[in-house]
Structure 1
Amino acid sequence: MPPLPGLILACALVAGLMPAAGLAAGYQQPSAAVRELLDTAPLPRLLPSPDRQQLALIETRRFSSIEDLQRPTLHLAGTRFDAGSSVAPGVAAIQRLRLRALLQPDAPERVVELPAGGLWHDFAWAPDGQRFLLERRMDRANELWVGDTATATLKPVQGLRLNEVLAQGEKAWLNPRELVVLSVPDHRGPPPRLAPQPITEESRGLVSPERTHPDLLHGPQDEALFEYHARSVLTAVDLVSGSSRDLGPAQLYSSLSSVGDGQYLLTERIARPFSYRLPWDDFPTIVEVRQRDGKLIRELARMPLKGGVAIDGVLPGPRVFYASPTKDAAVYWVEALDGGNPANRVAFRDRVMRLDPPFTGDPQEVQRMPHRFSRLQFLDDGQHALLTEVDRQRAWQRSYLLPLKGTQSKPLFEFSQRERFRHPGSPLMRTLPNGHLVVQTLGGDLLLTGPGASPKGDRPFLDRFSLRDLSVQRLFQSPEGSYETPLAVLEGGRQVLLSRESAAEPPNLALRELASGNSLQALTRLKDNTPQLRKIRREFVSFKRADGVDMSFWMYLPPDYREGERRPTLVWAYPMEYSDAAIASQVSGASNRFLSFNGISPLALLLDGFVVLYDAHMPVVGDLKTVNDGFIEQITMNARAIIDKAEDLGVSDPKRMAVGGHSYGAFMAVNLLAHTDLFKAGIARSGAYNRTLTPFGFQSERRSLWDAKDVYLHLSPLLYAPQIKEPLLLLHGEQDGNAGTPPLQSERLFHALSGLGGTVRLTMLPLEAHGYGARESAGHVQWEMSQWLKTWLGDPREAKEPAKNGR
């Protein structure tokens, strides 16, 4: 296809500054080895049915196409969707679908024939596994199709157009054969077109420290268009007959779930006034409980516009509603006891409330919490839930066993949110016949699984946690030499369903007998789809920085690497904040995992001969309220330790090392170039470089620009542009919708560096968001990164001096 104007413009901007590659018109191709890797079909996704009897093998397209990204897309009220179908852009396209019995490895596969046309996406099992759902995006509709598992046949729900503008993928199961979805109203007419008019905003004394948001509404025309596309109808669907019927008039529904065994519906819908400074999920919201036929029973809450809420604060009234998954059919919600302001000193910050059918009385208080509510997970016993709270000041998490009626809660476990070594794990979940996802219990105990991080690497585990005496019994831990992740417990606790992989074998499903851990039955036999990557060597490397904090990185050596070579090296990192040096020193990862990576991963540079120090640990340790005061000093200390260790290992030449990162990692990389002379070049993708454009906080920073002006200015590498002498490659998606990283961030840094005589290249990727999803974009990004490193560090396969960069 012809090159797109946006990319030509981006390259033309830097034509006079590019010292080696010259002006490149249109999309460029990476090396043949990288192109072959990017074009390799991904392994199928393996999705067992909720009853663990069936298996879906879902083959998706690795990338979107530029033509796909060019479809008309609306950006309204903080959301993006395809104008004709309401589907979010960049949805993963299903190209092939197969079904088979899960526990019978040699059972014949049933191929589901996908009718030609449109884009198939979002496979979902019915709760009993006897049927499944698929969606098909067409030019003017997003269709719902129902599949029969036994026959592997599909049929459409005639006349139904799903509406996913606000509630993407939400479906309320009433039972295994009936569900309620949100659909486009019939006969809604053409989109509105209002006459141009002045747009006015006003603020009168209300303190409203909002973080920066993209894609907001900009006037009455946007409001009318948003309401037109977001309005939907509750529609009941019978999967057996394929029929559907509407349950009342169209509303701005934003959430939908069934209550209990499908006796009721819990709905949320947004209301006016809309905001030009907040996304739609901060708009006024009305929460209601309805009969299963859609008839309103009771309005539960009217949550106001979420404006004027303190940083890290919440609304003062009811918020976060949950529908009970069991026959009691209660509705739960949370209310703040501190006015929603974390600065207020109170004994209890939140409480959980409960309202039982027929929803006519007053709600009852279930539990008070000293810290901010995080989540509620119901157990499959119908009597309890896991209640989790977070102490934001300490970054500390605590979970309780909450009796849903009667007695007080019981503390279970607590840990730092960054904890790796002593993390108790997360509960295994299972799907009930009514479609609700609940915590699985075994004999009244919890089943917890986690990565099992340790100084020697990750070894996933499965524990049985007693809710009576809090004792822990280890049922399973991944053996050395492979990486086995528990997915489900079967046969009354006698077997565990695993995802099993190794350095040489891709992830496959397997079954282990827990009583005799050596008994392993392979359930799938997927083959290595990228054998060329098995020649890559990787090693987990740990060391200490100057103040004694443990650090690490994954050292990747290219396939043709020879012992004793010192090759040009890229350090790729993402900074993380910690309140405690001991927690910061904990590491994670496993050398026995199957190596694969996405299309824009810097690991593809290995195929061009570069050494890559990937996932380099970049800790920033301190009081979380002021941790950024020492950000520059700590990332500098980290970088020095990384370079020294790479030099000690004999694989890297410290004079030929570059630093790079994506998003907050890009922010880190440019700050290292601005404040140190440690690296010879940099790559920054989709980052933020001027913190005055994020004045009400960023990442973990909770202070505003005016509370910590020196910190904001010191952490804005744009203001230190004269100090950036090293060559810098900037990449950014033209449609970046991530809060805090609009394309303007890269454009302004490029303008500053080019105006000051710096060496900089900016490429804006047409139609791309915060990540880059098109095949053309992935190839071009790999070409840009490889060419940049070859230009400024030297070709790793040629014995020559790197280009001079003026230092």
Structure 2
Amino acid sequence: MKKIFTLLLAIVTCFIGFAQENLNYQRPSKEILELADAPLAPSVLLDHKNEYMILLYRDAYKTIDELSEDELRLGGLRINPKTNIGSRTTYYNNIQVKKVTGKKAVQVMGLPENPRLANFSWSPDQKKIAVTNTTKTGVEIWVLDIQSAKVTKLTAANVNANLGDVINWFEDGTSMLVKMLPGNRKPLIDAKEVTPTGPTISVNDGKKAQNRTYQDLLKSKDDEHNFEQLALSEIYKVSLDGTSEKWLGSDMYRNISFSPDGKYILVSKIEKPFSYLVPYYRFPSETIVYDQNAKKIATIEKVPLIEDLPKGFMSARKGRRDISWRADKPASLVFASVLDGGDPANEVAYRDEVFQLDAPFNGTPKSILKTINRFSGIQWGNDNTAVAFDYWWNTRNTKAYLFDPSDSAKETVILYDRNYQDRYNDPGTFVEERNKFGSDVLSLNGKKAYLLGEGFSQKGQFPFLDELNLETKETKRLYQSDFTDKLENLRQYDPKTKKLLVRIESKSEYPNYYFRDLQKKKLTQITAFENPFKSIQNVHKEVINYKREDGLELSGTLYLPVGYDKDKKEKMPMILWAYPREFKDKSSASQNTKNPNRFTYPYWGSPIYWVTKGYVVLDGAAFPIVGEGDNEPNDTFRSQLVANAKAAIDAVDKLGYIDRDRVAVGGHSYGAFMVANLLSHSDLFAAGIARSGAYNRTLTPFGFQSEERNYWEAPEVYYTMSPFMHADKMKTPLLLIHGKADNNSGTYPLQSERYFNALKGLGATVRLVMLPKESHGYRAKESILHLLWEQDQWLERHVKNKKQEEAPGTN
């Protein structure tokens, strides 16, 4: 009997070793918890005159109760059907108003109880801000008066924010258009309570429809019904005195925008048929112009269902697209149309043509520009000056065109023609100012424009302000930051006052805002946010530069443990955290865009917490994957991945700080994919942490990340790059973490579940943690604290205190 009991005990013990753990949410150690629990500094809004500063406060995390509220996932959206707003919306819970020249901020009075504020919208005169507040039963509109710092409730909780673009002000600032719940909405269908009447059937008539593996798509007629009911809204004209009137009847309205003069309103809406293959923004749509009295003026475009675009990242649909108002004209619409049939495989001189259509929108559109690459936008200046942009992903090329929108016969000048991944030669972004219509346009002084640049170079980062003569194309540098111990971000420039709005930070000083007067050479501080992460403010931080075995220059941000003595050079465990990025040339891939003076901010997904636990951390290690000429980066993905990792470890090991037998590697999303590949194809690491990744590329057969070839065109690439296909090679402990409600294209929770099963079946050391209710990025405080606990436990066991037999290369 004793032998039988012993045998049964052994069987049960063996079973428990492979079973799931029933574990409540855990909290990390004190050192990590202190950082994770630190309060957030406020977000900042400034009016265009830089007179008032609005400080928006929020909690760092949601709660698991919030994430557990009702949620429907339909057509690429995640909606709370009770409150009629996105179920993953970020809310603010407090507002303060501060005069820029004042010392103290004023608490806004009259806020609702337990406020959940979002969708902030300035009035045209920027004296007020309208905002949504989400209650337990729905969404309300409230209005903040800036000068008095008081809010008042404007509507009941009957706003429909499911498709966004909720609030749009009339030009006079006394009323606004608001999407409201329709009176004809039908009850939603709970599929669990309905007996099916037949199967769900999808068909194809022979057309190619190569789409990414989108999530949260419609799957049934019940889903179609629910999507339609949640998308339906009526548009009301709501006045500040609290009165309202219906402006447009029930429909599936998406975007609403007033013309610069406020006399016309551009409205787009979703139409049927819906699709089970693509998200809602590729459903059929119609774009219409109305006048202020809701009289239909013209239909601008009707777009059919978009399921079968030509292959390639640069494909585009036919018809009018990127429809928008010209910012420097009272009421002129601008749109682009393809000249290559929308197919990037077609060789043409120009890819796109841009047209202008003036009110009353019933004439023939006027051609104003053709672009060599795919059109991507325009910054308007005046009648004779505008700058347009295009780009082409396959070559990483972008161009900026200076053109005269009033005269298409006039020669277009290419201001720059460059690789957009070349950060060292980035000319910057054009400075804008607010015009008489309240729209942002190019800030021009005669023929002179201004650019703010990030200022990356081989010597470091030195942000700059340039003056560009649009006639001669000559550039004059007006200011360049010369900080070597801080980072100065240039945010705005006013050519009239010659003042810069800047944000200055250091590795230990929280970012704060200043005005820099270029004439008086004076710096005036306007905020005083304190560093909430005191325990790591003096941690050693530097950017190290090193080379890959093929000579490619790489870099990473190195942190040493709190209190580490550099002279003794004790050998410590290390965490390497990275994310691979694809390049088409070695020159761009080798550029260093890291700044050691950037504030050290340990957000939820950061490895920085572990400097408090005795680890060296190499964060943001460069992991370029280069494919020059006809070669695609992914053709040599694995070998470049391993070469990047080896170079990083060699570089820190050479400095004498680490025990290279105790190095962990971690990453999120595509970084998780990187981790699994590194552990399968190298013996460089003691353990790995892979969060929310994809591991079997045959489950994303029509492209992934920056790979646009499909599986049948490059099966060897898909096979070689899939860690799942090489699960038998995994000999290193791997912690897999995934949100059960992941909504990212391609990173279905199934990816981690199936990969875990494969590793488990083959005898690997692996742990799978599925976080309830979490999406691709984790939000609930309970989830994040548990995540930090899981990572800490894994690192302590398999890296810091690992047994000798677990050393890399000894399995």
Q: TM-score range by the shorter chain?
A: over 0.9
Q: SS at the partner of 1:134?
A: strand
User: 1:792 corresponds to which letter in structure 2?
Assistant: H
Q: C-alpha displacement at 1:378, in angstroms?
A: 2.5
Match of 2:67 among 63, 66, 69: 69
Task: Tell me if the contact between 2:686 and 2:807 (Cα under 8 Å) persists in the aligned partners.
Answer: no
Change (3 A) 1:296 1:506: same
Separation in 1 of the partners of 2:343 and 2:449?
A: 34
Aligned to 2:592, which of 587, 591, 608?
Answer: 587
Tell me what 2:286 maps to: 286
How far apart are residue 172 of structure 1 and its match? 5.4
Q: Distance in 2 between matches of 1:666 and 1:574?
A: 8
Matched with 1:268 is 268
DSSP 3-state at the match of 2:478: strand
Is 1:506 the counterpart of 2:504? The answer is no
Distance 1:632-1:290 versus aligned 2 partners, 3 A rule:
same
Residues 173 and 434 of structure 1 are in contact (CA less than 8 Å); yes or no, is this contact kept in structure 2? Answer: no
Aligned to 1:575: 580
Aligned to 1:475, which of 472, 475, 478? 478
Match of 2:118 in 1: 121
Distance 1:635 1:281, change over 3 A: same
Q: 1:638-657 alignment to 2 at 5 Å?
A: 638-657=644-663
How far apart in 1 are the matches of 2:696 and 2:167?
Answer: 37
Secondary structure of the corresponding residue to residue 228 of structure 1: helix
Q: 1:398 to 1:570 in 2, by over 3 A?
A: same
- The farther-off stretch of 277-286 and 587-596 is 587-596
RMSD between aligned residues:
2.2
**CA gap 1:146/1:383 in 2 versus in 1, 3 angstroms:** farther
**Mapped partners of 1:14, 1:772: distance in 2:** 31
- The structure 2 residue matched to 1:147, chosen from 144, 149, 156, is 144
Determine if the alignment matches structure 1 residue 191 to structure 2 residue 188. yes
Q: Give 1:419 shift.
A: 1.3
**By how many angstroms is 1:154 displaced?**
0.9
- Report 1 or 2 for greater relative contact order, CA contacts < 8 Å, sequence distance ≥ 6: 1
Corresponding position: 1:689 with 2:686: no
Report SS of the residue matched to 2:250: coil
> Do the aligned partners of residues 14 and 24 (structure 1) sit closer, same or farther apart at CA in structure 2, a change above 3 Å counting?
farther
* Contact 1:388–1:399 (8 Å) recurs in 2: yes
Q: Aligned pair count?
A: 786
CA contact (8 A) 2:559 2:618 kept: yes
In the alignment, is the contact (CA less than 8 A) between 2:26 and 2:786 conserved in 1?
A: yes
Corresponding residue for residue 131 of structure 2: 134
Distance 1:238 1:401 in 2: 42
State the 1:60 CA deviation: 1.0
Runs (5+) with no aligned partner, structure 1: 1-11
Are the structure 2 counterparts of residues 107 and 789 from structure 1 closer, same or farther at C-alpha, using a change threshold of 3 Å?
closer
How far is 1:509 from its partner? 1.3
CA contact (8 A) 1:791 1:803 kept: no
Deviation at 1:746, TM superposition (A): 0.5
- Percent identity, please: 35
Q: Secondary structure at the match of 1:535?
A: coil
**1:723-754 CA distances to partner (integer Å, 9 max, x unpaired)?**
01100000000000000101011001000000
List aligned pairs for 1:16-31, cutoff 5 A.
16=17, 23=21, 25-31=23-29
CA distance in 2 between partners of 1:500 and 1:110 (Å): 25
Q: Map 1:1-12; keep pairs closer than 5 Å.
A: none
1:605 is aligned, of 592, 601, 610, to 610
Report what 1:704 is aligned to. Answer: 710
Task: Give the 3 Å change call, closer, same or farther, for CA 100–497 of structure 1 in structure 2.
Answer: same
Q: Map Cα deviations across residues 521-568 of structure 1 (whole Å, 9 max, x no partner).
A: 111222222211212211100011111111001001121322211111
Give the SS at the match of 1:274: coil
Match of 1:401, as an amino acid?
Answer: L
Contact 2:185 2:232 in 1 (8 A): no
Q: Residues 229 and 384 (structure 1 numbering): CA distance in 2 closer, same or farther, change over 3 Å? A: farther
Given that residues 214 and 739 in structure 1 are in contact (C-alpha distance below 8 angstroms), is that contact kept between their aligned partners in structure 2?
yes
The CA deviation string for residues 358-380 of structure 1, in whole angstroms up to 9 with x for no partner, is 1111111111122211222323x
**Maintained 8 Å contact 1:440/1:446:** yes
Q: Matches of 2:491 and 2:175 in 1, distance apart?
A: 27
2:396 alignment partner in structure 1: 395
Q: How does 1:139-288 map to 2 (within 5 A)?
A: 139-159=136-156, 161-168=158-165, 171=168, 173-186=170-183, 188-192=185-189, 196-197=196-197, 198-239=199-240, 241-288=241-288
Aligned residue for 1:441, secondary structure, equals coil
Alpha-carbon contact 1:66-1:775 (below 8 Å) kept: yes
Contact 2:736 2:766 in 1 (8 A): yes
Residues in 2 aligned to 1:478 and 1:324: alpha-carbon distance in whole angstroms: 34
Q: Is the 8 Å Cα contact of residues 143 and 153 (structure 2) preserved in structure 1?
A: yes
Distance 1:691 1:108 in 2: 52
Contact 1:76-1:215 at 8 Å conserved across structures: yes
TM-score by length of 2: 0.93
Does the aligned pair in 2 maintain the 1:536–1:559 contact within 8 Å? Answer: yes
Alpha-carbon deviation of 1:442?
A: 4.0
- 1:617 Cα deviation from its structure 2 partner: 0.2
Distance 1:176 1:472 in 2: 40
User: In 2 relative to 1, CA 13–573 (structure 1 residues): closer, same or farther, beyond 3 Å?
Assistant: farther
Residue 252 of structure 1: SS of its match in structure 2? strand
- Aligned-residue offset at 1:232: 1.6
Q: CA separation in 2, counterparts of 1:87 and 1:325?
A: 30
> For residues 258-407 of structure 1, what are the structure 2 equivalents within 5 Å?
258-310=258-310, 311-312=312-313, 313-379=315-381, 381=382, 383-406=384-407, 407=410
Deviation at 1:327, TM superposition (A): 3.6
**Are the equivalent residues in 2 in contact too, given 1:791–1:802 (CA < 8 A)?**
no
* Bigger mean CA deviation after superposition, 105-114 or 157-166: 105-114
Superimposed CA distance per residue, residues 620-645 of structure 1 (whole angstroms, 9 cap, x where no aligned partner): 11137622101111111111111111
Give 5+ residue unaligned stretches, structure 2.
1-12
Q: 2:211 & 2:786 partners in 1: Cα distance? A: 36
Deviation for aligned residue 1:457 = 2.2
Work out whether residues 573 and 658 of structure 2, in 8 Å CA contact, stay in contact via their aligned partners in 1. Answer: yes
Partners of 2:94 and 2:531 in 1: how far apart?
18
Q: Which amino acid aligns with 1:270?
A: I
The DSSP-based 3-state class of the residue aligned with 1:16 is helix
* Secondary structure at 2:643 match in 1: helix
Kept in 1, the 8 Å contact 2:702–2:708? The answer is yes
Using the alignment, how far apart are the partners of 1:746 and 1:611 within structure 2? 28
Aligned to 1:9: none
Matches within 5 A, 1:730-745: 730-745=736-751
SS of equivalent to 1:667? helix
Partners of 2:116 and 2:726 in 1: CA distance: 47
Q: Could you list the per-position Cα deviations for residues 369-427 of structure 1 after superposition, in whole angstroms to 9, with x for gaps in the alignment?
A: 22211222323x35533211112221111111232221343211122121111101112
Q: Distance in 2 between matches of 1:365 and 1:122?
A: 36
Structure 2 distance, partners of 1:606, 1:696, is 41
Give 1:234 shift: 2.3
User: How far apart in 1 are the matches of 2:26 and 2:141?
Assistant: 38
Q: 1:300 to 1:767 in 2, by over 3 A?
A: same
Moved more, 181-190 or 49-58: 181-190
> Does the CA contact (< 8 Å) of 2:543 and 2:596 recur in 1?
yes
Deviation at 1:136, TM superposition (A): 0.6
Q: Which moved more, 1:640-649 or 1:558-567?
A: 558-567
Residue equivalent to 2:82: 84
8 Å CA contact retained: 1:261, 1:326: no
Q: In the aligned structure 1, how far is the partner of 2:166 from the partner of 2:426?
A: 31
Amino acid in the other structure paired with 1:147 = L
Q: 1:731 to 1:530 in 2, by over 3 A?
A: same
Q: Is the 8 A contact 1:264 1:290 kept in 2?
A: yes
Aligned pairs for 1:485-496 within 5 A: 485-490=489-494, 492-496=496-500
- Distance in structure 1 (CA, Å) of the matches to 2:345 and 2:167: 35
Q: 2:557 aligns with which of 548, 554, 570?
A: 554
* Mapping for residues 34-73 of structure 1, pairs under 5 Å: 34-73=32-71
Q: What TM-score does the superposition give when structure 1 sets the normalisation length?
A: 0.93
Match of 2:465 in 1: 462
Stretch moving more, 449-458 or 634-643:
449-458
Work out whether 1:99 is the aligned partner of 2:97: yes
Once structures 1 and 2 are overlaid, which stretch shifts more, 475-484 or 662-671? 475-484
